Structure 1
């Protein structure tokens, strides 16, 4: 059933009782219509106002139906045009590129500081002072290095937004020199033979947790990164062949790596097996055997 309100505004009533406002009109010599919304969500007053707006478009030679389609597209783009949306896409891009979950977790954690301060609106309208205000909240905690790294990460979000056509400039470029430069405490490597020997003797004489001592000794014998050793699993080791096969997922370069084990390293692993051989990890944490020891050990 169709009820007419005049001016080509109609209320269509379906067999189920639902009611929909429609505007019948002629455009480019063809008879057509455009839906204006369902009653009662769209009241009679609102429907009449929408009719007048549609007539104003027709007077300008614009098809109201096509205009509504374009408006919906713009709204959809706007919803996916915020800093949060672009940041989420960047994280997914990094995941497709094979970045480790630990790395992605750090990226999301850092971006969380920016999300708290930058309001959810089109990324192209965000200014340098707004980004600086977000960075200042991190800097105010004394985390100067984190603030500098966050600026670089936020810049990646804006550059991805530029590449995908959702903004035209990167406001972080204007913030160079605006943040406090972190003071780096240099820790030179021990390269003198006598000093290095003293370090190894100190490790051998360590009176704390024996697993910590073994971890330090294995670092010196295998030349791997601390994170690679902390997350090592017993299934990766072939003590008979004296080889440690580190999977690609735990390597910085995302390639599998084989580490030859010296006889001293094999002996240390056999000693360690008495402590953690029943676990998946070589160095399980104190709170949970499914998590490795802290990097601060």
Structure 2
């Protein structure tokens, strides 16, 4: 029998943790402290594993069922749902850490290692400093051409057309890097 929101809300803590089963391996673990945790037991490569989906009511019954379905799809494809989740987290962290400023600084460090002239490095740093306030903290994968164009237009509005042209070229080099 599937769980209902009423049954979940009526669940009271006991001396020991207990489970309220939903279906297809999903259950709500009611802890003695009163916490309610969504979990799913599954087997992968002959080993019993447990996947956690979060706390109730932060994760609703419908959302927990949706996550269970995603996990079951991964199992059907022959993948471990825990590893799929870890991979998503790694991708999100990498995306968050790969900001425009981080990539541009890495590229700039490479220019320094190549032995570029100090004056060239100074000019490149100055160009990058024009862009950092507007797009420096944005993930580089999420930047659009219109956002880069907005940065270039702000430079052009000051009458610095050649600077905007060089900055556009620098953007291209950084994105190719």
TM-score category (smaller protein): 0.5 to 0.7
- Cα drift, residue 44 of structure 1: 1.9
Where is the helix percentage greater, Structure 1 or Structure 2? 2
Show the counterpart of 2:22. 6
Of 46, 60, 71, the match for 1:29 = 46
- Cα drift, residue 34 of structure 1: 1.0
- Hey, what's the Cα distance between the residues in 1 that align with 2:92 and 2:103? 16
Structure number with greater CO (CA < 8 Å, separation at least 6) is: 2
- Hey, what's the Cα distance between the residues in 2 that align with 1:56 and 1:154? 40
Considering only CA atoms, is the larger Rg found in Structure 1 or Structure 2? 1
The answer to whether the Cα contact below 8 Å between 2:53 and 2:67 also exists between their aligned partners in 1 is yes
Residues 234-292 of structure 1 show CA distances to partners (whole Å, capped at 9, x for unaligned) of xxxxxxxxxxxxxxxxxxxxxxxxxxxxxxxxxxxxxxxxxxxxxxxxxxxxxxxxxxx
Q: CA RMSD in A?
A: 3.5
- Hey, what's the Cα distance between the residues in 2 that align with 1:13 and 1:148? 62
- Cα drift, residue 155 of structure 1: 3.7
Give the length in aligned residue pairs. Answer: 155
Question: What are the ranges of 5 or more consecutive residues in structure 1 without an aligned counterpart?
Answer: 163-297
Of 3, 10, 19, the match for 2:36 = 19
For residue 84 of structure 2, give the secondary structure of its aligned residue in structure 1: helix
Structure 1 residue ranges (4+ consecutive) displaced by more than 4 angstroms after TM superposition: 88-91
- Hey, what's the Cα distance between the residues in 2 that align with 1:52 and 1:123? 29
For residue 78 of structure 2, give the secondary structure of its aligned residue in structure 1: coil
Show the counterpart of 2:82. 65
The answer to whether the Cα contact below 8 Å between 2:155 and 2:161 also exists between their aligned partners in 1 is yes
- Cα drift, residue 83 of structure 1: 2.3
Residues 173-208 of structure 1 show CA distances to partners (whole Å, capped at 9, x for unaligned) of xxxxxxxxxxxxxxxxxxxxxxxxxxxxxxxxxxxx
- Cα drift, residue 42 of structure 1: 0.8
- Hey, what's the Cα distance between the residues in 2 that align with 1:41 and 1:84? 34
Residues 12-64 of structure 1 show CA distances to partners (whole Å, capped at 9, x for unaligned) of 34444333211101122221111111222112221122112222222222221
- Hey, what's the Cα distance between the residues in 1 that align with 2:105 and 2:30? 43
- Cα drift, residue 137 of structure 1: 2.7
For residue 110 of structure 1, give the secondary structure of its aligned residue in structure 2: helix
Q: For 1:112-127, list aligned pairs within 5 A.
A: 112=132, 115=135, 120-123=138-141, 126-127=144-145
Residues 107-127 of structure 1 show CA distances to partners (whole Å, capped at 9, x for unaligned) of 5532236528xx934437644
Query: Quick one: structure 1 residues 105 and 60, their matched pair in 2 at CA, closer, same or farther if it must change by over 3 Å?
Result: closer
The answer to whether the Cα contact below 8 Å between 1:22 and 1:33 also exists between their aligned partners in 2 is yes
